[in-house]
Amino acid sequence: MPETNMPAPPQYGTRLGHWFFYIILRWFGPAPAYVLLIFVVAYYVFVLRQPRQQASYYLRRRFERDGSLKRLFRTYGYIYHFGQCLIDQAAMGILGRKHFHIDFPNRGDLYELSKTKKGLVLLSSHVGNWQTAMAVVDDMAIPVNFILRLDPRSAERYFFNLSGEAKYINIIDPTSFLGGLVEATQRLHNGECVSIMGDRAWGSRTEAVEFLGAPAFFPVTPYRLVSSTEADLVILLTARTGKLAFRIDYFHFSCNDLDCRSKNRAEISAILLNKYVKILEDYVQQYPYMWFNFFDFWSMDKNQSEAETL
């Protein structure tokens, strides 16, 4: 697939810096890491220009009335929350899940749904502790497959690498043939679960939807998988609620509820996409520092947002 001018994801910290945090977590726990983060974030926000620019794309949309000084300190809070989530993400892998408080009221619903083996599309987002939320799917009754492009510069930060559990995770590479859709479709027909991001295209087709007051391009692959396989769709959104504590909110959509047989695939995809965007918009209103998007989501054209076409 041809490369395009898609901006590279922001890289906060060096590999050496990450491993320094990992050592602190392993020997002293998260509290000293949170304290150290205060000074690290101050350097990134008050000394470097690029992090402020990357954070401003979202913050200007979410907090339109902020003046320059208020936005500067809001940027500090936003990136500090991001750093806390990265620390928690690493702690999940290094210290284990037993150290976390996970408020997931619908865990039983997700497990029972997985037992039906109808096929399940699990939609996550760059919200809160999204990777640690994915760690709770290991008790589902079906195999879980992640459509995920691993960044070689940051792959060590994924919770399953830090925990040594990568062998239990099946990764579907979105840069492979047809973006991994053939494998994902087959997995769903086999009654398995496919997990995919709802707020980053990375090679899939997109459609423009109104989000925080302006059109933005969102991937349609998750909803096309649902419409073509009649799998269930579950949206999981995760907010950090305290030290090593987070809440997972669960939204379930079934083809039976949507009456899929009376609609064509494009109609089903459009309905589900709009439901997801509305849920995400409501979520960032409730948790404004929990959606970690560092791109100019609203100024990208269709080709830029898709980055690579399938």
Instruction: Flag whether 19 is in a domain.
Output: yes
206: β partners = 219
In this prediction, residue 185 has a pLDDT band, given cuts at 50, 70 and 90, of: very high
Lowest mean pLDDT across 124-128, 129-133, 184-188: 129-133
| Domain presence at residue 6 | no
5 domain-assigned: no
- Whether residue 2 is predicted with pLDDT greater than 50 in this model: the reply is no
Cα 293 from Cα 277, distance rounded (Å): 14
CA gyration radius for the chain?
Answer: 19
Q: Can you give the pLDDT at residue 6?
A: 41
Pair 188, 45 in one domain:
no
- pLDDT for the residue 12: 58
Q: Report if residue 9 sits inside a domain.
A: no
DSSP strand E in the chain: where? 101-103, 120-124, 144-147, 170-172, 193-197, 206-211, 214-219, 232-242, 245-253
Do 161 and 85 lie in one domain? The reply is no
- Whole-angstrom distance, CA of residue 194 vs CA of residue 139: 15
Q: Which domain holds residue 218?
A: 99-306
DSSP E strands, 71-113: 101-103
CA gap 180, 166 in Å, rounded = 19
Average pLDDT over residues 230-245: 91
Cα angle: 188, vertex 135, 147; to 5 degrees: 40
In this structure, the answer to whether residues 127 and 77 fall within a common structural domain is no
User: 93 and 124 share a domain?
Assistant: no
pLDDT value at 174 more than 80? no
Tell me: pLDDT of 156 over 50: no
> Coil, strand, or helix at residue 139?
helix
148 and 241 share one domain = yes
Residues 152 and 300 reside in one and the same domain:
yes
- Domain count within the chain: 2
Give the pLDDT score at 9.
47
Structure tokens at 176: 């492979």
Q: Which of 244-258, 263-277, 292-306 shows the lowest per-residue confidence on average (mean pLDDT)?
A: 292-306
| 183/266 same-domain check | yes
Q: Does residue 3 surpass a pLDDT of 80?
A: no
Mean pLDDT value of segment 155-171: 51
Same domain, 212 and 248: yes
Indicate whether 88 and 229 sit together in one domain: no
pLDDT of residue 163: 44
User: What is the side-by-side strand order in the sheet with 144-147?
Assistant: 101-103, 245-253, 232-242, 120-124, 193-197, 144-147, 170-172
Q: What is the pLDDT of residues 65-120, one digit of tens each?
A: 999 999 999 999 999 999 998 888 888 878 877 888 889 999 999 999 999 988 99
Of 146 and 77, more confident: 77
82 near 292, Cβ under 8 Å?
A: yes
CA 174, CA 196: separation in Å to the nearest integer? 10
What is the chain's mean pLDDT, rounded? 83
Of the candidates 71, 97, 123, which is a domain's last residue?
A: 97
